[in-house]
Amino acid sequence: MLKYISLLLVFSVQLGFAQSKITGKITTTDNQIIPFANVTIDGTYKGTSADQNGYYTLGNLKAGNYNIKVSYVGYSPVTKAVTLEENQTLNLNFE
């Protein structure tokens, strides 16, 4: 019996840590990669930078509404509104 209770407790804790994430690629309108662009969530201190190929990941996010902002020197910032569901991986590309 104790074995089953322990197993149930482990699964409950793991489900509590289930998180969503946003991934994507940042390019110019003519499909040129923008490496190391800044990707932030408006109103928070959460953010990341794209890699050398323009790909980024914002992880450990709770379900909810977010405004994702991309900025890079020499380009105008772009913001997109998204809604994340629980345990969702959302692909959000920027041009």
The pTM for the full model equals: 0.80
Q: In what order do the strands lie in the sheet with 64-71?
A: 47-49, 38-41, 64-71, 78-84
- How many CB atoms neighbour CB 92 within 10 A? 18
Residue 54 contacts residue 33 (beta carbons within 8 Å)? yes
* Per-residue confidence (pLDDT) for residue 13, from 0 to 100: 47
The single-letter code of the amino acid at 45 is Y
For position 12, what pLDDT does the model report? Answer: 47
What are 5-46's pLDDT values in tens digits?
554 444 544 455 669 999 999 999 999 999 999 999 999 999
pLDDT in tens, 63-72: 999 999 999 9
Q: What pLDDT is recorded for position 42?
A: 96
Residue 44 per-residue DSSP state: S
